[in-house]
């Protein structure tokens, strides 16, 4: 027998999505606020003991000053390169991944809840699905791969001196190019297709031929849904380099926009309108930088 109370709860998808948004946003903010505070402290001058006047461990983040070293005679690229080792690269990947979880998992809540509800009903009929966590793990695995790509992009931009130690753009031209790219992408057929799959979980399910009962199939289906999500949002994630990867307000604005675009009525039209704004802002930045030169 099913649990009527649980069934009623699962039907309240919008309320649950709102709770997920609040919880995940708060968790992401707590993590990012702590990390941003640590990175800010790591940029403080070296004290008399030759250590950084901040939280331990963060001074070794790529782009941050290294403990016990005189950075005054080093070029920015040398300092950035000194911070990129195996341990610190793993820390940057983890930073990106946790950020993506906090930003993207709330908008995936309707699909995950749909899987849980259908799976529970299938279990009641004696034909259970793989655990919901398997599907969710597949979704998050795609964002982990994106985090690897974002870390590589960060490394490339640092070596080219196009971003600052606080991981925001040091070039108005780069900022303009990223804004225009994101704005144009909002109008592409690929964006429309991916957004449509994210906005309509039932349509995604129907096109995929239904949920998979085995663990491997459930994981791969989660990855498939995650791939549509990345296809929908990757240019928006690159805008973190414009406003600052550690700019808490900027992260929140992008996360809320992504959620609204996927869940609100008319979100697709809102996304195209935002694309126009992004293109205009990017063009203005490029024109201003050209005039300044």
Higher pLDDT, 205 or 72: 205
Q: How many angstroms separate the CA atoms of 131 and 95, rounded?
A: 27
pLDDT of residue 170: 85
**Is pLDDT above 60 for 10?**
no
Q: What is the dihedral of CA 282, 286, 289, 291, to 10 degrees?
A: -130
**Contact assessment for residue 38 and residue 166, using Cβ atoms and an 8 Å cutoff:** no
Measuring CA to CA, how many Å separate 93 from each of 163, 216, 257?
17, 25, 23
**Contact assessment for residue 135 and residue 221, using Cβ atoms and an 8 Å cutoff:** yes
**245 pLDDT tier (thresholds 50, 70, 90):** confident
Using alpha carbons, select from 280, 283, 257, 288 the residue that is nearest to residue 103.
257
> Which residue ranges make up each domain of the chain?
4-292
**Is pLDDT above 50 for 278?**
yes
Q: How many angstroms separate the CA atoms of 225 and 4, rounded?
A: 29
**Is pLDDT above 70 for 290?**
yes
Q: Of 1-5, 77-81, 236-240, 289-293, which has the strongest mean pLDDT?
A: 236-240
DSSP state string for 194-253 = HHHHHH-HHHHHHHTTS--SSHHHHHHHHHHHHHHHHHHHHHHHHTHHHH-TT-HHHHHH
Q: How many angstroms separate the CA atoms of 232 and 200, rounded?
A: 13
Q: List, for residues 40-62, the tens digit of each pLDDT value.
A: 655 544 444 444 443 334 445 56
Q: List, for residues 85-95, the tens digit of each pLDDT value.
A: 888 899 899 89
Using alpha carbons, select from 267, 216, 229 the residue that is nearest to residue 104.
229
The two structure tokens encoding residue 199 = 């906005």
**Is pLDDT above 60 for 200?**
yes
Q: How many angstroms separate the CA atoms of 37 and 246, rounded?
A: 9
pLDDT of residue 241: 92
Lowest mean per-residue pLDDT among 70-74, 172-176, 233-237, 254-258: 70-74
pLDDT of residue 184: 96
**Contact assessment for residue 159 and residue 56, using Cβ atoms and an 8 Å cutoff:** no
Q: 74-107 as b/e, with b when 16 or more CB fall inside 10 Å?
A: eeeeebbbbbbeeebbebbbebbbbbbbbbbbbb
**Is pLDDT above 90 for 178?**
yes
pLDDT of residue 288: 84
**Contact assessment for residue 213 and residue 126, using Cβ atoms and an 8 Å cutoff:** no
Measuring CA to CA, how many Å separate 154 from each of 56, 84, 169, 224, 246?
23, 11, 10, 26, 13
Q: List, for residues 98-109, the tens digit of each pLDDT value.
A: 899 888 988 888
**Is pLDDT above 50 for 71?**
no
pLDDT of residue 191: 95
pLDDT of residue 142: 97
**Contact assessment for residue 111 and residue 201, using Cβ atoms and an 8 Å cutoff:** yes
């Amino acid at each position: 027998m099913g649990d009527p109370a649980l069934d009623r709860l699962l039907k309240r998808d919008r309320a649950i999505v709102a709770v997920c948004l609040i919880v995940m946003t708060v968790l992401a903010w707590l993590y990012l606020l702590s990390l941003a505070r640590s990175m800010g402290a790591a940029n403080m001058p070296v004290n008399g003991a030759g250590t950084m006047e901040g939280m331990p461990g963060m001074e070794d983040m790529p782009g941050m000053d290294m403990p016990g070293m005189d950075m005054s005679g080093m070029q920015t690229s040398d300092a950035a390169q000194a911070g990129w080792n195996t341990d610190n690269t793993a820390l940057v990947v983890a930073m990106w991944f946790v950020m993506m979880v906090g930003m993207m998992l709330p908008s995936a809540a309707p699909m995950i809840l749909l899987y849980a509800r259908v799976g529970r009903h299938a279990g009641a009929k004696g034909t259970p699905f793989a655990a919901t966590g398997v599907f969710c793990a597949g979704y998050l695995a795609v964002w982990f791969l994106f985090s690897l790509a974002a870390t590589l992009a960060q490394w490339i931009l640092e070596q080219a001196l196009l971003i600052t130690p606080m991981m925001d753009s040091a070039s108005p031209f780069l900022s303009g190019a990223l804004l225009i790219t994101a704005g144009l992408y909002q109008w592409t057929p690929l964006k429309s297709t991916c957004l449509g799959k994210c906005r309509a979980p039932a349509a995604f399910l129907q096109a995929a031929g239904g949920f998979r009962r085995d663990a491997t199939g459930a994981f791969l289906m989660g990855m498939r849904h995650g791939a549509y999500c990345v296809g929908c949002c990757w240019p928006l994630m690159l805008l973190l380099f414009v406003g600052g990867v550690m700019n808490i307000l900027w992260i929140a604005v992008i996360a809320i926009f992504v959620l609204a675009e996927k869940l609100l009525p008319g979100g697709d039209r809102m996304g195209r309108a935002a694309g126009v704004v992004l293109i205009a802002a990017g063009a203005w930045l490029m024109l201003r930088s050209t005039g300044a030169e």
